[in-house]
Structure 1
Amino acid sequence: MIRVLLVDDHTMVRKGLRMLLEGYPELEIVGESQDGYEAVDMMGRLQPDVVVMDLSMPSGLDGFAACREIRRRHPSVKTVILTMHDEEIFVRQSVQVEADGYILKNSHGELLHQAIVEVVQGKRFYKTSVSDDIIRQWINADEERQPSPLTTRQKQIVRLTVLGYANKEIAEQLSISVKTVENHKTNIMQKLELDTKHELIQYAIKNNYLELAL
Protein backbone atom coordinates (compact mmCIF):
# COMPACT_ATOMS: atom_id res chain seq x y z
CA MET A 1 0.00 0.00 0.00
CA ILE A 2 1.33 3.44 -0.98
CA ARG A 3 0.44 6.18 1.51
CA VAL A 4 -0.36 9.53 -0.16
CA LEU A 5 -0.73 13.05 1.24
CA LEU A 6 -2.58 15.61 -0.92
CA VAL A 7 -1.53 19.28 -0.71
CA ASP A 8 -3.53 21.98 -2.51
CA ASP A 9 -5.12 25.22 -1.31
CA HIS A 10 -8.38 24.48 -3.16
CA THR A 11 -10.73 22.14 -1.29
CA MET A 12 -12.53 21.01 -4.44
CA VAL A 13 -9.23 20.04 -6.08
CA ARG A 14 -8.21 17.98 -3.05
CA LYS A 15 -11.58 16.22 -2.91
CA GLY A 16 -11.43 15.49 -6.63
CA LEU A 17 -7.94 14.04 -6.31
CA ARG A 18 -9.04 11.93 -3.37
CA MET A 19 -11.96 10.48 -5.34
CA LEU A 20 -9.69 9.77 -8.30
CA LEU A 21 -6.87 8.12 -6.37
CA GLU A 22 -9.11 6.11 -4.05
CA GLY A 23 -10.12 4.18 -7.17
CA TYR A 24 -6.69 2.52 -7.14
CA PRO A 25 -6.54 -0.25 -4.51
CA GLU A 26 -2.78 0.08 -3.96
CA LEU A 27 -3.11 3.74 -2.90
CA GLU A 28 -4.21 5.00 0.51
CA ILE A 29 -4.97 8.72 1.00
CA VAL A 30 -3.72 9.37 4.52
CA GLY A 31 -4.50 13.08 4.65
CA GLU A 32 -5.08 16.44 3.00
CA SER A 33 -3.43 19.82 3.55
CA GLN A 34 -4.25 23.30 2.30
CA ASP A 35 -0.71 24.74 2.42
CA GLY A 36 2.94 23.84 2.73
CA TYR A 37 3.32 24.74 6.41
CA GLU A 38 0.51 22.39 7.39
CA ALA A 39 1.86 19.65 5.12
CA VAL A 40 5.32 19.78 6.69
CA ASP A 41 3.76 19.63 10.17
CA MET A 42 1.65 16.60 9.22
CA MET A 43 4.53 14.52 7.87
CA GLY A 44 5.64 12.90 11.12
CA ARG A 45 2.11 11.96 12.17
CA LEU A 46 0.80 10.69 8.83
CA GLN A 47 4.06 9.19 7.49
CA PRO A 48 3.16 9.32 3.78
CA ASP A 49 5.26 7.64 1.12
CA VAL A 50 4.36 10.28 -1.47
CA VAL A 51 3.24 13.91 -1.26
CA VAL A 52 1.22 15.25 -4.21
CA MET A 53 1.95 18.98 -4.08
CA ASP A 54 0.50 22.07 -5.73
CA LEU A 55 2.97 24.91 -6.36
CA SER A 56 0.90 28.08 -5.96
CA MET A 57 -0.50 28.29 -2.43
CA PRO A 58 -0.58 32.01 -1.52
CA SER A 59 -1.89 31.54 2.01
CA GLY A 60 1.10 29.56 3.24
CA LEU A 61 4.39 27.91 2.31
CA ASP A 62 4.39 27.34 -1.45
CA GLY A 63 5.18 24.06 -3.14
CA PHE A 64 8.86 24.76 -3.85
CA ALA A 65 9.70 25.66 -0.27
CA ALA A 66 7.56 22.83 1.09
CA CYS A 67 9.29 20.26 -1.16
CA ARG A 68 12.67 21.50 -0.04
CA GLU A 69 11.71 21.28 3.63
CA ILE A 70 10.18 17.82 3.25
CA ARG A 71 13.33 16.65 1.48
CA ARG A 72 15.44 18.03 4.33
CA ARG A 73 13.37 16.52 7.15
CA HIS A 74 12.10 13.34 5.49
CA PRO A 75 14.53 12.38 2.70
CA SER A 76 12.83 9.05 1.99
CA VAL A 77 9.47 10.67 1.16
CA LYS A 78 8.78 11.22 -2.54
CA THR A 79 7.19 14.41 -3.88
CA VAL A 80 5.11 14.84 -7.04
CA ILE A 81 4.34 18.36 -8.22
CA LEU A 82 0.82 18.70 -9.65
CA THR A 83 0.40 22.15 -11.17
CA MET A 84 -1.05 24.23 -13.99
CA HIS A 85 2.39 25.73 -14.70
CA ASP A 86 4.22 24.34 -17.72
CA GLU A 87 6.79 27.13 -17.99
CA GLU A 88 10.48 26.24 -17.94
CA ILE A 89 11.18 28.31 -14.82
CA PHE A 90 8.81 26.17 -12.73
CA VAL A 91 10.06 22.86 -14.10
CA ARG A 92 13.68 23.84 -13.58
CA GLN A 93 13.09 24.97 -10.03
CA SER A 94 11.29 21.70 -9.27
CA VAL A 95 14.41 19.86 -10.39
CA GLN A 96 16.52 22.10 -8.15
CA VAL A 97 14.40 21.35 -5.06
CA GLU A 98 14.63 17.64 -5.99
CA ALA A 99 10.95 16.98 -6.64
CA ASP A 100 10.62 13.40 -7.85
CA GLY A 101 7.73 14.02 -10.22
CA TYR A 102 6.07 16.86 -12.13
CA ILE A 103 2.80 16.65 -14.04
CA LEU A 104 0.16 19.12 -15.16
CA LYS A 105 -3.34 19.46 -13.75
CA ASN A 106 -4.88 19.00 -17.18
CA SER A 107 -3.31 15.54 -17.47
CA HIS A 108 -5.34 12.33 -17.49
CA GLY A 109 -5.87 10.85 -14.04
CA GLU A 110 -3.96 7.69 -14.92
CA LEU A 111 -0.83 9.80 -15.40
CA LEU A 112 -0.93 10.90 -11.75
CA HIS A 113 -1.35 7.30 -10.66
CA GLN A 114 1.61 6.31 -12.82
CA ALA A 115 3.72 9.14 -11.39
CA ILE A 116 3.01 8.06 -7.80
CA VAL A 117 3.85 4.43 -8.50
CA GLU A 118 7.05 5.20 -10.40
CA VAL A 119 8.51 7.69 -7.91
CA VAL A 120 8.00 5.14 -5.13
CA GLN A 121 10.06 2.76 -7.28
CA GLY A 122 12.87 5.31 -7.26
CA LYS A 123 12.26 6.71 -10.74
CA ARG A 124 11.92 10.36 -11.73
CA PHE A 125 8.64 11.18 -13.49
CA TYR A 126 8.42 14.52 -15.34
CA LYS A 127 5.75 15.06 -18.01
CA THR A 128 6.00 18.65 -19.27
CA SER A 129 6.75 20.56 -22.46
CA VAL A 130 10.41 20.66 -21.40
CA SER A 131 12.32 17.83 -23.08
CA ASP A 132 13.76 14.93 -21.10
CA ASP A 133 17.23 15.79 -22.41
CA ILE A 134 17.08 19.29 -20.95
CA ILE A 135 15.78 17.98 -17.62
CA ARG A 136 18.63 15.46 -17.48
CA GLN A 137 21.10 18.28 -18.13
CA TRP A 138 19.66 20.21 -15.19
CA ILE A 139 19.80 17.15 -12.96
CA ASN A 140 23.42 16.46 -13.85
CA ALA A 141 24.56 20.07 -13.85
CA ASP A 142 26.72 21.34 -11.03
CA GLU A 143 26.03 25.03 -11.42
CA GLU A 144 28.16 27.50 -9.52
CA ARG A 145 26.27 30.12 -7.57
CA GLN A 146 27.54 33.67 -7.71
CA PRO A 147 27.56 35.77 -4.51
CA SER A 148 24.45 37.93 -4.45
CA PRO A 149 24.51 41.69 -3.89
CA LEU A 150 20.91 41.59 -2.64
CA THR A 151 19.72 41.68 0.95
CA THR A 152 17.58 38.86 2.34
CA ARG A 153 14.46 41.02 2.02
CA GLN A 154 15.27 41.86 -1.60
CA LYS A 155 15.79 38.17 -2.39
CA GLN A 156 12.37 37.41 -0.91
CA ILE A 157 10.77 40.09 -3.08
CA VAL A 158 12.51 38.75 -6.20
CA ARG A 159 11.28 35.26 -5.38
CA LEU A 160 7.66 36.29 -4.91
CA THR A 161 7.75 38.50 -8.00
CA VAL A 162 8.99 35.65 -10.16
CA LEU A 163 6.29 33.38 -8.72
CA GLY A 164 3.69 35.85 -9.99
CA TYR A 165 2.66 37.65 -6.81
CA ALA A 166 1.34 41.22 -7.21
CA ASN A 167 2.85 44.03 -5.13
CA LYS A 168 -0.10 43.99 -2.72
CA GLU A 169 0.24 40.23 -2.19
CA ILE A 170 3.99 40.56 -1.62
CA ALA A 171 3.35 43.30 0.93
CA GLU A 172 0.88 41.07 2.78
CA GLN A 173 3.24 38.07 2.73
CA LEU A 174 6.16 40.08 4.12
CA SER A 175 4.13 42.42 6.39
CA ILE A 176 5.42 45.58 4.72
CA SER A 177 3.74 48.38 2.76
CA VAL A 178 3.10 48.33 -0.98
CA LYS A 179 5.26 51.44 -1.30
CA THR A 180 8.15 49.61 0.37
CA VAL A 181 7.77 46.75 -2.10
CA GLU A 182 7.86 49.20 -5.01
CA ASN A 183 10.98 50.90 -3.65
CA HIS A 184 12.71 47.55 -3.17
CA LYS A 185 11.91 46.53 -6.75
CA THR A 186 13.40 49.73 -8.11
CA ASN A 187 16.55 49.25 -6.04
CA ILE A 188 16.82 45.59 -7.07
CA MET A 189 16.74 46.37 -10.79
CA GLN A 190 19.30 49.14 -10.35
CA LYS A 191 21.59 47.03 -8.18
CA LEU A 192 21.52 44.09 -10.60
CA GLU A 193 21.66 46.37 -13.66
CA LEU A 194 18.61 44.70 -15.18
CA ASP A 195 15.97 46.24 -17.41
CA THR A 196 13.19 43.67 -17.79
CA LYS A 197 11.26 41.12 -15.76
CA HIS A 198 12.56 38.38 -18.06
CA GLU A 199 16.13 39.26 -17.07
CA LEU A 200 15.10 39.19 -13.42
CA ILE A 201 13.55 35.73 -13.86
CA GLN A 202 16.75 34.39 -15.42
CA TYR A 203 18.80 35.87 -12.57
CA ALA A 204 16.46 34.27 -10.01
CA ILE A 205 16.73 30.85 -11.68
CA LYS A 206 20.52 30.99 -11.87
CA ASN A 207 20.82 31.89 -8.20
CA ASN A 208 18.13 29.49 -6.94
CA TYR A 209 16.05 32.26 -5.36
CA LEU A 210 12.88 30.17 -5.65
CA GLU A 211 14.22 27.85 -2.96
CA LEU A 212 14.23 30.58 -0.33
CA ALA A 213 11.89 30.18 2.63
CA LEU A 214 9.93 33.25 3.68
Structure 2
Amino acid sequence: MKIVIADDHAIVRSGFSMILNFQPDMEVIATAADGIEAYAAVAKNKPDILVMDLSMPPGESGLIATGKIKEDYPDTKILILTMHDDEEYLFHILKSGASGYVLKNAPDEELLLAIRTVHAGGTYIHPKMATSLVREFIKHDKSGSSEDPFELLSKRELEILPLIAKGYGNKEVAEKLFISVKTVEAHKAKIMEKLQLKNRPELVEYALRKKLLDF
Protein backbone atom coordinates (compact mmCIF):
# COMPACT_ATOMS: atom_id res chain seq x y z
CA MET A 1 0.00 0.00 0.00
CA LYS A 2 1.24 3.48 -0.89
CA ILE A 3 1.30 5.93 2.04
CA VAL A 4 1.78 9.67 2.54
CA ILE A 5 2.80 10.97 5.99
CA ALA A 6 1.89 14.51 7.08
CA ASP A 7 3.38 15.92 10.28
CA ASP A 8 4.95 19.28 11.09
CA HIS A 9 7.97 17.63 12.76
CA ALA A 10 10.65 16.33 10.37
CA ILE A 11 11.90 13.79 12.91
CA VAL A 12 8.42 12.30 13.22
CA ARG A 13 8.09 12.03 9.44
CA SER A 14 11.48 10.32 9.23
CA GLY A 15 10.74 7.96 12.11
CA PHE A 16 7.37 6.88 10.79
CA SER A 17 8.79 6.48 7.29
CA MET A 18 11.44 4.10 8.59
CA ILE A 19 8.88 2.04 10.49
CA LEU A 20 6.46 1.79 7.57
CA ASN A 21 9.05 1.20 4.85
CA PHE A 22 10.37 -1.71 6.89
CA GLN A 23 7.01 -3.46 6.38
CA PRO A 24 6.80 -5.68 3.28
CA ASP A 25 3.32 -4.40 2.39
CA MET A 26 3.90 -0.66 2.92
CA GLU A 27 5.75 2.11 1.09
CA VAL A 28 5.95 5.79 2.06
CA ILE A 29 5.86 7.63 -1.27
CA ALA A 30 5.75 11.23 0.03
CA THR A 31 5.72 13.36 3.18
CA ALA A 32 4.19 16.74 4.05
CA ALA A 33 4.62 19.35 6.78
CA ASP A 34 1.05 20.70 6.95
CA GLY A 35 -2.44 20.31 5.51
CA ILE A 36 -1.71 22.27 2.34
CA GLU A 37 1.33 20.13 1.54
CA ALA A 38 -0.68 17.01 2.41
CA TYR A 39 -3.36 17.98 -0.11
CA ALA A 40 -0.71 18.57 -2.78
CA ALA A 41 0.98 15.23 -2.01
CA VAL A 42 -2.32 13.37 -2.30
CA ALA A 43 -3.18 15.18 -5.53
CA LYS A 44 0.18 14.27 -7.06
CA ASN A 45 0.65 10.70 -5.77
CA LYS A 46 -2.90 9.35 -5.23
CA PRO A 47 -1.87 7.28 -2.18
CA ASP A 48 -3.94 4.52 -0.62
CA ILE A 49 -3.45 5.96 2.87
CA LEU A 50 -2.71 9.40 4.27
CA VAL A 51 -1.39 9.31 7.84
CA MET A 52 -1.86 12.87 9.06
CA ASP A 53 -1.18 14.77 12.26
CA LEU A 54 -4.18 16.77 13.39
CA SER A 55 -2.28 19.80 14.68
CA MET A 56 0.39 21.25 12.40
CA PRO A 57 1.04 24.89 13.34
CA PRO A 58 1.49 27.32 11.75
CA GLY A 59 0.25 25.52 8.64
CA GLU A 60 -3.21 24.24 7.82
CA SER A 61 -4.55 21.77 10.39
CA GLY A 62 -5.29 18.15 9.65
CA LEU A 63 -8.97 18.59 10.49
CA ILE A 64 -9.44 21.22 7.79
CA ALA A 65 -7.31 19.33 5.27
CA THR A 66 -9.23 16.10 5.85
CA GLY A 67 -12.50 17.57 4.63
CA LYS A 68 -10.88 18.98 1.48
CA ILE A 69 -8.98 15.81 0.63
CA LYS A 70 -11.95 13.49 1.18
CA GLU A 71 -14.12 15.64 -1.06
CA ASP A 72 -11.62 15.77 -3.94
CA TYR A 73 -9.84 12.41 -3.47
CA PRO A 74 -12.34 10.06 -1.79
CA ASP A 75 -10.33 6.93 -2.61
CA THR A 76 -7.49 7.99 -0.29
CA LYS A 77 -8.23 6.80 3.23
CA ILE A 78 -7.13 9.11 6.04
CA LEU A 79 -5.76 7.98 9.38
CA ILE A 80 -5.40 10.82 11.88
CA LEU A 81 -2.57 11.14 14.40
CA THR A 82 -3.53 13.10 17.49
CA MET A 83 -2.58 13.79 21.10
CA HIS A 84 -6.25 14.27 22.00
CA ASP A 85 -8.51 11.41 23.04
CA ASP A 86 -11.72 13.16 24.11
CA GLU A 87 -14.95 11.92 22.52
CA GLU A 88 -16.13 15.24 21.07
CA TYR A 89 -12.86 15.66 19.20
CA LEU A 90 -13.01 12.09 17.92
CA PHE A 91 -16.54 12.67 16.69
CA HIS A 92 -15.41 15.65 14.60
CA ILE A 93 -12.44 13.69 13.23
CA LEU A 94 -14.64 10.91 11.88
CA LYS A 95 -17.35 13.27 10.67
CA SER A 96 -14.76 15.17 8.63
CA GLY A 97 -14.11 12.01 6.63
CA ALA A 98 -11.23 10.28 8.40
CA SER A 99 -11.29 6.47 8.66
CA GLY A 100 -9.83 6.39 12.13
CA TYR A 101 -7.26 7.81 14.49
CA VAL A 102 -4.19 6.77 16.46
CA LEU A 103 -2.77 8.53 19.51
CA LYS A 104 0.76 9.81 18.84
CA ASN A 105 2.07 8.02 21.92
CA ALA A 106 0.70 4.65 20.77
CA PRO A 107 3.17 1.78 20.18
CA ASP A 108 4.38 1.04 16.64
CA GLU A 109 2.27 -2.12 16.49
CA GLU A 110 -0.93 -0.12 16.96
CA LEU A 111 -0.03 2.27 14.14
CA LEU A 112 0.61 -0.67 11.80
CA LEU A 113 -2.65 -2.34 12.83
CA ALA A 114 -4.56 0.89 12.28
CA ILE A 115 -3.10 1.39 8.80
CA ARG A 116 -3.92 -2.18 7.75
CA THR A 117 -7.42 -1.91 9.22
CA VAL A 118 -8.16 1.31 7.36
CA HIS A 119 -6.65 -0.02 4.12
CA ALA A 120 -8.95 -3.05 4.34
CA GLY A 121 -11.96 -0.75 4.47
CA GLY A 122 -12.45 -0.68 8.22
CA THR A 123 -12.41 2.10 10.79
CA TYR A 124 -9.77 2.12 13.50
CA ILE A 125 -10.69 3.49 16.92
CA HIS A 126 -8.84 2.80 20.14
CA PRO A 127 -10.99 0.32 22.12
CA LYS A 128 -11.22 2.54 25.18
CA MET A 129 -12.86 5.27 23.09
CA ALA A 130 -15.37 3.06 21.26
CA THR A 131 -18.08 3.30 23.93
CA SER A 132 -17.72 7.07 24.19
CA LEU A 133 -17.95 7.42 20.42
CA VAL A 134 -21.14 5.36 20.21
CA ARG A 135 -22.63 7.50 22.97
CA GLU A 136 -21.72 10.67 21.05
CA PHE A 137 -23.26 9.40 17.82
CA ILE A 138 -26.46 8.40 19.62
CA LYS A 139 -26.69 11.86 21.18
CA HIS A 140 -26.36 13.55 17.79
CA ASP A 141 -28.78 11.11 16.15
CA LYS A 142 -31.47 11.71 18.78
CA SER A 143 -31.13 15.46 18.46
CA GLY A 144 -31.95 15.19 14.75
CA SER A 145 -29.41 17.90 14.02
CA SER A 146 -26.12 19.14 15.28
CA GLU A 147 -26.19 20.88 18.64
CA ASP A 148 -22.76 22.33 18.00
CA PRO A 149 -22.60 25.54 15.93
CA PHE A 150 -19.04 24.53 14.97
CA GLU A 151 -20.58 22.14 12.45
CA LEU A 152 -22.40 25.04 10.79
CA LEU A 153 -19.12 26.60 9.66
CA SER A 154 -18.26 26.34 5.97
CA LYS A 155 -14.89 25.00 4.80
CA ARG A 156 -13.68 28.53 4.09
CA GLU A 157 -14.79 29.67 7.55
CA LEU A 158 -12.89 26.72 9.07
CA GLU A 159 -9.79 27.98 7.27
CA ILE A 160 -10.24 31.57 8.42
CA LEU A 161 -11.17 30.90 12.07
CA PRO A 162 -7.76 29.59 13.27
CA LEU A 163 -5.88 32.27 11.32
CA ILE A 164 -7.87 35.04 13.00
CA ALA A 165 -7.41 33.35 16.37
CA LYS A 166 -3.65 33.24 15.81
CA GLY A 167 -3.63 37.02 15.46
CA TYR A 168 -3.46 37.51 11.70
CA GLY A 169 -5.14 40.65 10.41
CA ASN A 170 -7.72 40.65 7.64
CA LYS A 171 -5.14 41.60 5.01
CA GLU A 172 -2.74 38.82 6.10
CA VAL A 173 -5.54 36.24 6.05
CA ALA A 174 -6.57 37.44 2.59
CA GLU A 175 -3.01 37.07 1.29
CA LYS A 176 -2.62 33.59 2.78
CA LEU A 177 -5.88 32.31 1.28
CA PHE A 178 -5.70 34.30 -1.98
CA ILE A 179 -9.02 36.03 -1.41
CA SER A 180 -10.04 39.66 -0.98
CA VAL A 181 -10.05 41.54 2.32
CA LYS A 182 -13.79 42.12 1.94
CA THR A 183 -14.34 38.38 1.62
CA VAL A 184 -12.36 37.80 4.82
CA GLU A 185 -14.38 40.44 6.62
CA ALA A 186 -17.64 38.87 5.44
CA HIS A 187 -16.61 35.39 6.55
CA LYS A 188 -15.34 36.71 9.87
CA ALA A 189 -18.71 38.32 10.53
CA LYS A 190 -20.49 35.06 9.71
CA ILE A 191 -18.16 33.12 11.99
CA MET A 192 -18.83 35.45 14.91
CA GLU A 193 -22.58 35.25 14.24
CA LYS A 194 -22.74 31.46 13.91
CA LEU A 195 -20.62 30.86 17.01
CA GLN A 196 -22.30 33.69 18.92
CA LEU A 197 -18.97 35.32 19.75
CA LYS A 198 -18.61 39.00 20.60
CA ASN A 199 -14.91 39.72 20.20
CA ARG A 200 -11.47 38.30 19.31
CA PRO A 201 -10.63 37.05 22.86
CA GLU A 202 -13.80 34.95 22.81
CA LEU A 203 -12.86 33.68 19.36
CA VAL A 204 -9.36 32.71 20.56
CA GLU A 205 -10.82 30.95 23.59
CA TYR A 206 -13.25 29.07 21.34
CA ALA A 207 -10.48 28.03 18.93
CA LEU A 208 -8.39 26.74 21.83
CA ARG A 209 -11.34 24.83 23.27
CA LYS A 210 -11.90 23.19 19.89
CA LYS A 211 -8.17 22.44 19.70
CA LEU A 212 -7.80 24.33 16.42
CA LEU A 213 -4.65 25.97 17.78
CA ASP A 214 -1.47 24.62 19.28
CA PHE A 215 0.73 27.44 20.57
TM-score after normalising by structure 1 = 0.70
State how far apart, in whole Å, the 2-side matches of 1:173 and 1:112 are.
40
Q: Do the aligned partners of residues 23 and 139 (structure 1) sit closer, same or farther apart at CA in structure 2, a change above 3 Å counting? A: farther
Residue 4 of structure 2 aligns to a residue in which SS?
A: strand
Q: CA contact under 8 A between 2:117 and 2:124: conserved in structure 1?
A: yes
Looking at secondary structure, tell me which structure has more helix per residue.
2
CA 1:135/1:62 → structure 2, altered by over 3 Å: closer, same or farther?
A: same
Distance in 2, matches of 1:16 and 1:43, equals: 20
Letter in 2 for 1:133: T
Counterpart check, 1:3 vs 2:2: yes
Instruction: Say which SS state the counterpart of residue 126 (structure 1) adopts.
Output: coil
Q: Note if contact 2:102-2:125 (Cα within 8 Å) is conserved in structure 1.
A: yes
**Cross-structure match for 1:122:** 121
Choose from 161, 167, 171 the match for 2:168: 171
Pairing 1:144–2:142 present:
no
Does 2:38 match 1:39? yes
Give aligned-pair identity as a percent: 28
Instruction: Label 1:158 to 1:144 Cα distance change in 2 as closer, same or farther (>3 A).
Output: farther
Change (3 A) 1:81 1:120: same
Work out the CA distance in 2 between the residues paired with 1:157 and 1:76. Answer: 23
Residues 103, 128 of structure 1: 8 Å contact kept: no
Contact 2:4/2:49 (8 A) holds in 1: yes
**Change in CA separation of 1:129 and 1:15 when aligned onto 2, cut-off 3 Å:** same
Relative distance call for 1:121 and 1:188 in structure 2 (3 A) is: same
Contact 1:82 1:102 in 2 (8 A): yes
Q: Letter of the 2:84 partner, please give it.
A: H
Q: Bigger CA drift: 23-32 or 120-129?
A: 120-129
1:26-75 CA-to-partner distances (Å, cap 9, x unmatched) read: 00101000111111112132111000000111232210111111110111
Confirm or deny: 8 A CA contact 2:60 2:159 kept in the other structure. no
The answer to whether residue 109 in structure 2 is matched with residue 110 in structure 1 is: yes
Q: Residues 114-138 of structure 1: CA distance to partner in whole angstroms, max 9, x if unpaired?
A: 00101111111011753x1332354
Task: Tell me the distance in 2 between the aligned counterparts of 1:18 and 1:64.
Answer: 22
Identify unmatched segments of 5+ residues in structure 1.
Answer: none
State the distance in 2 between where 1:189 and 1:93 align: 21
Shift of 1:15: 0.4
Matches within 5 A, 1:2-151: 2-127=1-126, 129-130=128-129, 132-139=130-137, 141-142=140-141, 143-145=144-146
After superposition, the Cα gap between the structure-2 partners of 1:146 and 1:88, relative to the gap in structure 1 and judged at 3 Å, is: closer
TM-score (norm 2): 0.70
Letter in 2 for 1:51: L
Deviation at 1:104, TM superposition (A): 0.6
Calculate the aligned-residue CA RMSD, in Å. Answer: 3.7
